Structure 1
């Protein structure tokens, strides 16, 4: 669930041009050109790590949507 949450956060931040800021900062800091796909991949990885941490702590809950 954290993966989806962080992807939505990344999407909302892109409304305010944060993705362009991130790409430019990455280019200046590491001298590498990245794309918007890399921007979303970073948010995916953060969410994935969050899910793994919750899983190993034993607090990970699978949410089932029932009608």
Structure 2
């Protein structure tokens, strides 16, 4: 009884060559949080454009707050 030779695993290059996706800086990473809204409010949120509407709305509100601060 002879054993069949086992195939060698595929060789991979080392991880230190700058391969793969570059990490996102911590200040640019998205953070998951949740909010509770009534179904009617979720409908409004969706009609307004969801996240595509929310991000610019937050930025605009933040700029208005900064201008009104003494």
Please report the TM-score for the alignment, with normalisation by the length of structure 1: 0.37
Please report the TM-score for the alignment, with normalisation by the length of structure 2: 0.36
Q: Which has the higher contact order (CA 8 A, sep 6+)?
A: 1
Normalized per residue, the structure richer in helix is: 1
